Amino acid sequence: MNAAGAYSLGILAGGQGARWGGRDKGLIAFQGRPLVSGVVTPRPQGAEEVLICCRSHPYFYQHFADRVLCESVALQGPCAGITALLSAVAYRTLMILPVDLIGSPRQVIAALESEWQEDDKAIFLTDTQGQHSPCLRLHVDTLADCAAYLDEGGRKVTGLLERVGARPIPVDAAWLKDADLPASISP
């Protein structure tokens, strides 16, 4: 259980689903299964635990995670979810993915596993143009900075990444595709 590469996998599922008419994106069917299933199934070998931070429907999400929790501050964006997940982990690092990642979750996970260096505090994936994604990996030592950023009113993931000194890792933009809009999963 304490293998050097072991980490906690956290899924951000707390969005308001505004572009989806308020629907919970993680539970929307894509290719015959809920979006959340595409991110956590099969379970990555290095993920010793899977946590999901959601805004509602924890009873549905419990089938896909070891533990389900709520944002540390409701409706305050992904930084609140990141902080909640980071405060609940059992391992030294937390890999975070959005629940609506439909590009290539396996390649994203592999990049976050292979690019992590022992002296890293935080890394995040960007496309080759430098556009950030909510696919990141954090050391538990960043919890205080994340909580302080949130307490100061910080809401943008870019600001949080800057605060913790995250190192960008460029990857193929197709890997980072998400189901941000209904058209993104239409046949």
DSSP assignment of 34-92: EHHHHHHSSPPTTEEEEEEEESS-HHHHGGG-SEEEE-SSTTS-HHHHHHHHHHH-SSS
pLDDT category at 1 given cuts 50, 70, 90 is very low
Asked if residue 146 belongs to a domain, the reply is yes
Q: Is residue 82 part of a domain?
A: yes
pLDDT in tens, 139-150: 999 999 999 999
* CATH code for the domain of 68: 3.90.550.10
Residue 2 lies in a domain: no
Residue 99 lies in a domain: yes
Contact 79, 37 (CB under 8 A): no
Query: What confidence category does residue 36 fall into, taking pLDDT thresholds of 50, 70 and 90?
Result: very high
Q: Is residue 162 part of a domain?
A: yes
Which range marks the domain in which residue 69 is found?
Answer: 7-185
CA distance 151 to 129: 31
pLDDT of 122: 98
Q: Is residue 179 part of a domain?
A: yes
Residue 1 included in any domain: no
pTM as predicted? 0.91
DSSP single-letter state for residue 166:
P
Residue type, 48: E
Q: Is residue 119 part of a domain?
A: yes
Helix/strand/coil for 118: coil
The number of distinct structural domains making up the chain is: 1
- Residue 26 CA to residue 13 CA, distance in Å, equals 6
- Dist. CA 151–CA 140, nearest whole Å: 18
Confidence label for 17 from pLDDT (cuts 50, 70 and 90): low
